């Protein structure tokens, strides 16, 4: 199968091109962004050497689903989804923090906790928790947004003290984050899932805060299956997850955590296909919709054509 790992398009009125870890972003004029969600996959802030077919489509369509389902809580950046891997939306000035919210002790928070730490991003965590236990109430653990290298944990107090986000706006970001997570947990529960943790990114345009990028996708979120959760916790067993964590675990087992000098292990066809199937499983489970596999035979030209048609039809 073809994986879309890179795009280098040129559109009328294009003013900039940015290649992120997963997304290729085209600026059109002063007010428009075209975001192409590639099949690149990253872990530990490193882009892995092989793309995952259909991953971009899963991410883009899951995000579109949940952005629509939360538009009553906070305005979002989306104007159109002209292709399974493309979202076009309003250009915002991004806040330089990612708003991470955690309802359960898992992933990075668990790694910190099991190392003996009881504070993360200035937030106190209670003693006596086991991996995958719920927190008494969800905690917000923001990170700085690094253009290169690793994102870093940061406290609410430091964000405000350093002027990274003005206090009044940061308070609003926290309120939106909690409301979005509450909605996300309700939507997940309806599908037999637990939304363990997730992150949100926000931007500002002409004084209005917008929700940007992706939400509640396997790249930005971790889900447990609700069925059997309590039993597994009581037995001290690992929870059944729907997330990218299994990719991280596969890498950890092969001595890779993105640190200097470590070599990315080879991803064979069987593993790549497994990751594709896991992403598709997540799409169907979290949205409740059947995944329709897009034609990958000429994926790059398909994407370019659909973007060009939308831009032309909308005066660009």
What pLDDT score was predicted for residue 53? 97
Residue-wise pLDDT tens for the chain (316 aa)?
789 999 999 999 999 999 999 999 999 999 999 999 999 999 888 999 999 999 999 999 999 999 999 999 999 999 999 999 999 999 999 999 999 999 999 999 999 999 999 999 999 999 999 999 999 999 999 999 766 666 799 999 999 999 999 999 999 999 999 999 999 999 999 999 999 999 999 999 999 999 998 999 888 899 999 999 999 999 999 999 887 878 988 999 999 999 999 999 999 999 999 999 989 988 999 999 999 999 999 999 999 999 999 999 999 9
- What's the pTM? 0.89
What pLDDT score was predicted for residue 304? 98
* CB-side neighbour CA atoms (13 Å) of 69: 20
**Cα separations in angstroms, 215 against 197, 242, 248:** 11, 15, 20
What pLDDT score was predicted for residue 201? 96
What pLDDT score was predicted for residue 146? 67
Which architecture does CATH list for 94-213+226-239? 2-Layer Sandwich (3.30)
Query: Does 14-91+245-313 carry CATH code 3.30.200.20?
Result: yes
What pLDDT score was predicted for residue 147? 61
Written as one string, the DSSP assignment of the chain is: -----------TTEEEEEE-SSEEEEEETTTEEEEEE-S--EETTEE-SS--TTHHHHHHHHHHHHHHHTTTTS-BSEEEEEETTEEEEE--EE-SEEEEEEEES-HHHHHHHHTT--EETTEE--TTPPTTPEEEEEEE--EE--SSS---B--HHHHHHTTSS-HHHHHHHHHHHHHHHHHHHHHHHHTTEEEEEEEEEEEEETTEEEEES--SSTTTEEEEESTTHHHHHHHTPPPPEEETHHHHHHHHHTT-SS-TTPPPPP--HHHHHHHHHHHHHHHHHHH-S---PPP-TTHHHHHHHHHHHHHHHTT-
Could you tell me the residue ranges of all domains in the chain? 14-91+245-313, 94-213+226-239
* CB-side neighbour CA atoms (13 Å) of 84: 18
What pLDDT score was predicted for residue 148? 60
d(CA 251, CA 222): 17
């Amino acid at each position: 199968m073809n994986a879309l790992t890179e795009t280098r398009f040129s559109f009328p009125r294009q003013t900039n091109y940015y290649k992120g870890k997963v997304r290729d972003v085209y600026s059109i004029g002063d007010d428009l962004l075209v975001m192409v969600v590639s099949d690149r996959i990253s872990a530990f802030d490193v882009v892995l050497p092989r793309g995952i077919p259909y991953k971009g489509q899963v991410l883009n369509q899951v995000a579109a689903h949940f952005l629509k389902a939360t538009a009553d809580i906070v305005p979002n950046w989306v104007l159109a989804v002209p292709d399974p891997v493309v979202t076009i939306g309003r250009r915002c000035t991004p806040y330089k923090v990612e708003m991470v919210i955690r309802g359960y002790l898992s992933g990075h928070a668990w790694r910190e906790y099991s190392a003996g730490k009881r504070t993360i991003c200035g937030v106190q965590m209670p003693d006596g928790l086991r991996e995958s236990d719920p927190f008494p109430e969800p905690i917000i653990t923001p990170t700085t947004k690094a253009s290169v290298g690793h994102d870093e944990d940061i406290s609410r107090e430091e964000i405000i003290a350093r002027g990274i986000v003005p206090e009044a706006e940061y308070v609003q970001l926290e309120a939106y984050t909690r409301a979005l997570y509450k909605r996300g947990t309700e939507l997940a529960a309806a599908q037999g899932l637990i939304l363990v943790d997730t992150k949100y990114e926000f931007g500002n345009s002409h004084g209005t805060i917008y929700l940007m990028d992706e939400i509640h996708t396997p790249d930005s979120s971790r889900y447990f299956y609700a069925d059997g959760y309590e039993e597994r916790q009581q037995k001290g067993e690992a929870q059944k997850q729907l997330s990218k964590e299994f990719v991280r675990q596969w890498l950890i087992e092969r001595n890779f955590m993105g640190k200097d000098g470590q070599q990315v292990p080879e991803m064979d066809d069987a593993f790549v296909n497994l990751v594709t199937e896991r992403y598709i499983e997540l799409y169907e489970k979290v949205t409740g919709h059947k995944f329709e596999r897009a034609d990958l035979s000429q994926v790059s030209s398909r994407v370019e054509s659909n973007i060009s048609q939308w831009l032309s039809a909308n005066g660009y």
